[in-house]
Amino acid sequence: MESMQPWGEKFNLPQQKPPQQQISLSREERLEAKRLAEEANFSFEGYQVVRREFISHRFDPAMTIRGNSITFNNSCISKLENATYIQFLINPSEKKLIIRPCDTGARDAIRWCIVKSDKRKSRQITCKIFAERLYEMMGWDTLYRYRLQGMKIHYKGESMYLFDLTSNECFLPQKRDENGKLTRTDAILPADWSKSFGMDVETHDMSTKVDFLDGYMTTSLSDDSQLQLEETT
């Protein structure tokens, strides 16, 4: 008597395996899995940090340099704790300027604000020779005034502001209309900024690194008839 065999084996047909059980993921689990996959392959390569000057920044800390003076806006002054006196530190090779708070009476101390009723307000710092030296060093046009955005940094426990002199907005002199009201002028940005949105991430991170032993000098404005530059130690 012929032995009974499964129908599939009798005709040498492949055996079908039972379907695998599918695992159902929730929407949150799928999103988290996608996030983890993107994070594993993420890199800052190719990204640019968009310049603050491309976005409204009227109330951000800023410094304005004219042909014979320097002025800081109230936002810059209010956000640097209770500093009344500062020192200018400049790195001619890197084209960077630092504002460092100092004690009253410290060497090369400069009063940068007016204090009334525990409130501090901006004041114009007259510094004709220093401003002229900056214009000469940067190749700026004396017809314009230049505004620079400040970056608050911390160095060895000190809070200070760093200004990149190469990242500036320039303005033509303001004029009065027929009613005697000053008219605003649009900012003129560096021509090479039109080629990108900003610095690449690595360059941007390095732009805020500071080493006072690397080329920084203090400026003495106590006697504006003779501008002195002294290396910091």
Query: How many domains are contained in the chain?
Result: 1
CA distances from 138 to 77, 94, 166, 200 (A): 25, 11, 8, 23
For residue 151, tell me if it sits in a domain.
yes
Residue % of the chain over a pLDDT of 90 = 30
For residue 15, tell me if it sits in a domain.
no
List, for residues 168-203, the tens digit of each pLDDT value: 998 887 777 777 777 777 788 888 888 888 888 888
Domain that holds residue 204: 58-231
What's the pLDDT score for residue 232? Answer: 39
The answer to whether residues 161 and 151 touch, using CB atoms and an 8 Å cutoff, is yes
DSSP three-state, residue 102: strand
136 band by pLDDT with thresholds 50, 70 and 90:
very high
What's the pLDDT score for residue 120? Answer: 83
For residue 147, tell me if it sits in a domain.
yes
For residue 191, tell me if it sits in a domain.
yes
What's the pLDDT score for residue 233? Answer: 35
What's the pLDDT score for residue 12? Answer: 59
Task: Give yes or no for residue 129 having a pLDDT over 90.
Answer: yes
What's the pLDDT score for residue 231? Answer: 38
For residue 134, tell me if it sits in a domain.
yes
Segment 81-88 shows an average pLDDT of: 88
What's the pLDDT score for residue 230? Answer: 38
For residue 49, tell me if it sits in a domain.
no
For residue 39, tell me if it sits in a domain.
no
The answer to whether residues 58 and 186 touch, using CB atoms and an 8 Å cutoff, is no
Q: What is the helix, strand, coil percentage profile of the chain, to 5? A: 20, 35, 45
pTM of the shown model: 0.68
Indicate the DSSP class of residue 46: T
For residue 193, tell me if it sits in a domain.
yes
